[in-house]
Amino acid sequence: MRRIDVHKLSDEARFNGFHGRVLFLCALIIIFDGYDLAVAGIALPSIMKEMGVTAQSAGFMVSSALFGMMIGAIFLGTVADKIGRRWAIAICVVLFSVFTSAAGFTHDPYTFSAMRFFAGLGIGGVMPNVVAQMTEYSPKKIRTTMVTLMFSGYAVGGMLAALLGKGLIEAHGWQSVFLAAGLPVILIPWILKAMPESMPFLIKENRLDELKKIVLRMEPSYLPEANDLFAVPSEDKAEGAPISKLFQGGRSFSTVMFWIAFFMCLFMVYALSSWLTKLMANAGYSLGSALTFVLVLNFGAMIGAIGGGWLADRFHIKYVLVGMYALAAVSITMLGYKVPTEVLFLLVGLAGATTIGTQIVTYAYAGQFYPMAVRSTGIGWASGIGRSGAILAPIVIGTLVGIALPLEQNFMAIAFPAVVAMIAVLLINHSRSASEHRDNISVVIPDPLPRVMGSAMARRFRQVWR
């Protein structure tokens, strides 16, 4: 009889086609998710003109999706740990695809806002689930790189919305960019067939035949046997109340610090997204269209996410994040001072890398911090709490703009949360993370070991032989 620690197998597996397929599928979902979130901002001028709404009403129309994202991240992140991550992801894709598409059929701001709220449930809910999925099925040595590479699809979706939006809106009206968002529905059968389920969930449900097939694809040297017993560390077992587990095992204070970091980072992201163009215009810069800003900001975000993930796999992720937040504070503050246009675009790209890109790396850190069984819940609550910062940012910065503060003070206000987030991350107790604090579960198999097993796998089993 063998007791197999699936978490250990996942940690030590070598990257193969199975990991590549999970990465591709999760990244594709995030690209569509990023498109659905960005599309409202791209089409907003046309929507305001056709519906005859004021800027204040338009702000409410946009923020309705953010309210949905806050609820979706908390609720659907938690639900995934109860019904299975695969079904939770499929539900999220249906929500953000169907309701974003439905927004294209609306003719008044109230119905539009309602559709965007329901779409926001899926947009916000899918994020913690795909991060948890990618974290669970990534080899430990390249885990952060894979998560941030997958999540960089969010920036790709934003750039896709910017690039396609202008042409589609001019040719077919603003409704066309929303109708195009319904296409991901066709992915649902593929998601349900190709997406592996969470391993602790399968163990809890006693779906061991399905689990064996997944483990075999993840680690080809594993040879399934009828009497295999699968195990996870005690804190990874999918039992009990997931929310309460966020505050167990010495994680209470660190959980609050994650919430603060998410809040502050998303405040910066949405403050820049909402007011960067307006602030620069007020300062007298001739910077071209907002489309260019969207592209530069999201391109920087993609570079920051992938580069930050690469660094985090080679150095301590906690201190990589501290450095990124510090750089965010400096780069955003510098936006408030008169510089050549070329330098300004460089600073905008750097701001994207150290706000949106840093947020993606922070998602990866949260995914590694929490045990498998509550990973979606932990990321979902952090993301949901953080969304309140996203909702608050346009209001706070808009108020500051309204009282005509000097440009540098506006950007200092946007940069200050980076300092708070940096301190919060520094205070996270990394020794209580799932990657550091794990039960020593043995994998027992009678000797002699089968010769058909790879030598590396055989050595691994011998090391834990009892």
pLDDT tens for each residue of 75-125: 887 787 778 888 889 999 999 899 989 988 988 888 988 998 999 898 888
Residue 417 has pLDDT above 50, yes or no: yes
- Give the percent of the chain with pLDDT over 70: 81
Residues 6+ apart with CB under 8 A from 427: 253, 254, 257
Q: How far apart are CA 54 and CA 115, in angstroms?
A: 19
Residues 6+ apart with CB under 8 A from 259: 381, 382, 385, 386
Mean pLDDT, rounded, of the chain: 78
Average pLDDT, integer, range 41-69: 75
Average pLDDT, integer, range 220-226: 72
Average pLDDT, integer, range 245-252: 75
Average pLDDT, integer, range 122-132: 85
For residue 5, report the phi and psi dihedrals to the nearest 5 degrees.
-85, 100
Residue 3 has pLDDT above 80, yes or no: no
Measure the N-to-C terminal CA separation of the chain; round to a whole number of Å.
12
Residue 210 has pLDDT above 80, yes or no: yes
> Which pair of structure tokens corresponds to residue 235?
């804190």
Average pLDDT, integer, range 32-42: 78
pLDDT (0 to 100) of residue 321: 92
The region of weakest confidence among 51-60, 136-145, 300-309 is: 51-60
Average pLDDT, integer, range 141-159: 82
3-state secondary structure of 196: coil
Residue 374 has pLDDT above 60, yes or no: yes
In this predicted model, which residue has the larger pLDDT, 265 or 399? 265
Quickly count: other Cβ atoms within 10 Å of residue 422's Cβ: 22
Residue 371 has pLDDT above 70, yes or no: yes
Sketch out the chain's domains with CATH numbers: 3-200+241-432 (1.20.1250.20)
Q: How far apart are CA 231 and CA 81, in angstroms?
A: 17
Residue 273 has pLDDT above 70, yes or no: yes
pLDDT (0 to 100) of residue 287: 46
Average pLDDT, integer, range 422-444: 65
Residue 462 has pLDDT above 60, yes or no: no
Q: Which of 237-241, 285-289, 343-347, 390-394 has the highest mean pLDDT?
A: 343-347
The region of weakest confidence among 217-226, 305-314, 422-431 is: 217-226
Residue 146 has pLDDT above 80, yes or no: yes
Residue 224 has pLDDT above 90, yes or no: no
**Residue ranges in 84-187 assigned as alpha helix (H):** 85-103, 109-136, 143-151, 153-172, 175-179
For residue 327, report the phi and psi dihedrals to the nearest 5 degrees.
-65, -35
Residue 240 has pLDDT above 70, yes or no: no
Residue 464 has pLDDT above 60, yes or no: no
Residue 196 has pLDDT above 80, yes or no: yes
Predicted confidence band at 447 (pLDDT cuts at 50, 70, 90)? Answer: very low
pLDDT (0 to 100) of residue 439: 40
Q: How far apart are CA 176 and CA 166, in angstroms?
A: 11
Q: In this structure, are residues 297 and 348 in contact, taking their beta carbons and an 8 Å threshold?
A: yes
Quickly count: other Cβ atoms within 10 Å of residue 380's Cβ: 32
Residue 130 has pLDDT above 80, yes or no: yes
- Give the percent of the chain with pLDDT over 90: 12
Nearest to 177 by CA among 365, 288, 40: 40
Q: Is 209 exposed, middle or buried (0-12, 13-18, 19+ CB in 10 A)?
A: exposed
